[in-house]
Amino acid sequence: MKKIIVVENIKDWNIEIDAIEIIDAKSYLLKQSYQDLRDVRIFNLCRNNKYQGSGYYVSLLAEARGHKVIPSITAIQDFKSQNILRSLSDDLDEQIQLSLKNIKSDSYTLSVYFGKNVSKTYAKLAKQFYNLFQAPLLRAEFEFKKKWLLKSVKLISINDISEEHKPYIRQFAEEYFSKKRYDSTKIQKTTYDLAILVNPKESDPPSNKTALKKIAEAGERLGFYVEMITKYDFNRLPEFDALFIRETTMVNNHTYRFSRKAFAEGLIVIDDPISILRCTNKVYLAELLIHNKVSIPKTLIIHKDNKQEVLPYLGLPCVLKKPDSAFSIGVVKVKTEEELEKQLNEMLASSDLVIGQEFLFTDYDWRIGILNNELLYACKYHMAKGHWQIYDWSNKEEDNYGRVECIPLDQVPEMVKQIALKTSNLIGNGLYGVDVKYKDGIAYIIEINDNPSLDANYEDRLLGDSLYDQIMEEFKRRLDLSKNK
């Protein structure tokens, strides 16, 4: 991908960077040759980013032309909203307090140049500010009112840098543009840039460290630049062409915001926000499957006015599910009327609707991995020892989950494969893990996961590296299609 720095005036920039073209704003805005460019990334370092200023138009027209641009027009607008700035800075609050704790005055100005500050004391805070606000040059103002608060963040240009800081700029700029992604020796080899969203602190992530390494290696074999990102990299999304979410997804946290923003920015994203919305709500899934006559255990959507129907319709024991339950959390089996009453009251206190299902026990559930409506892998997820679920969250020992057994697709009951494919088609064309119970010759859908486990030595036990290659090939196929539109 071609890289271009756009400045107000060429005289503003006197640093040569290998494989990076430097042009003025007027040329970018008006010359036909730049209008017709494809597969290009723009770094907007203009002085005037005010509404309808030249810098504003550089980012605006870059997006209209399908160019990747930093900062995006959305980011430029966000800098003007105090509410948005405060909201975005909430994720940085811990680092802000830690970094500024020794400052004696009631105000402080943090200058961030290409993700760095001239003082190592504020290096981590500067890096996180860059990742969050995604602008090469910016300045943040803080004020102390019982604790440090972000007062404002402003985009700045080369001309706004103080004389005592200018000696650092060449070094910072060269390091910024000579990172692996901008290394001139890599440019011809790297076709697309892929971000993988992870949470290093997550106790049970969708992919273990070995699997993440294999995913990255599979991407690199296809010519991707691959980088692991975290929730602090939200505004870095425009740097990439694709996003692969390998952190447990929820609608009410940052994973959904990442997916939504990536989708809006035109990235290829797995899984997309629509899939997350559909898969993470059990009420939606129940209604969808019932409406489309997909076989599921006897199910009742419960609210405060029909609680009395649960016992005669489902019997005991039965299973109650919170609408946003995942990985067996928020799913309980009740055995008595007293337990039923207690659990329903607790669940209905936080959600107007709850799912109730008849209890069907099997020694294992089928997990069918599906990508782009095609079968990918099949596993038997055995129940945890002495438990009725795959995961036993009440057991604090390491063996709180059941055995995983990979099965060749041609050995999976045809009914299980067909119902899994039918269900995934109702959701979309992403990467899904469809859970199926097969009992007395009938296949029942239990749930469909938008962010299925891909763990080394588990789901890849039969396919090996081929599992990760197939997923990366699907990313490339979609990116190639998008590029050629």
Does the structure show a pLDDT above 80 at 326?
no
CA dihedral 176, 178, 180, 185 (to 10 degrees): 160
Q: What's the pLDDT band for 83 if we cut at 50, 70, 90? A: low
Architecture in CATH of 360-449: 2-Layer Sandwich (3.30)
> How do residues 21-32 score in pLDDT, each as one tens digit?
999 999 998 888
Residue 105: its pLDDT value, please?
92
Both tokens of residue 479?
């990116």
Q: Which residue has the tokens 């105090």?
A: 82
Q: 345, 284, 334: which is closest to 311 by C-alpha?
A: 334
- For 200, residues 6+ apart whose C-beta sits below 8 A from its C-beta are 230
* Rounded Cα distance, 202 and 207, in Å: 10
The residue-averaged pLDDT of 424-436 equals 96
Q: 443, 405, 447: which is closest to 319 by C-alpha?
A: 447
Cis peptide before 71 (omega within 30 of 0): yes
pTM of the model: 0.67
Helix (H) or strand (E) holding 419: helix 414-427
> How do residues 91-145 score in pLDDT, each as one tens digit?
688 889 999 999 989 999 999 998 899 998 999 999 888 877 778 898 989 999 8
Residue 181: its pLDDT value, please?
45
Q: Where are the domains of the chain?
A: 190-272+471-483, 298-358, 360-449
Report the 10 Å Cβ neighbour count for 134.
22
Both tokens of residue 60?
């605006």
Both tokens of residue 157?
């240009």
The domain over range 190-272+471-483 is classified in CATH as 3.40.50.2300: no
Q: 79, 88, 72, 95: which is closest to 257 by C-alpha?
A: 88
- Residue ranges in 1-146 assigned as alpha helix (H): 25-30, 32-35, 54-64, 73-78, 82-89, 93-100, 123-133
Do 71 and 60 touch, CB atoms closer than 8 A? Answer: no
Beta partners for residue 368, in sequence order: 378, 434
Both tokens of residue 25?
């704003």
Residue 180: its pLDDT value, please?
46
Both tokens of residue 138?
């910016």
Do 470 and 476 touch, CB atoms closer than 8 A? Answer: no
- For 336, residues 6+ apart whose C-beta sits below 8 A from its C-beta are 316
Architecture in CATH of 298-358: 2-Layer Sandwich (3.30)
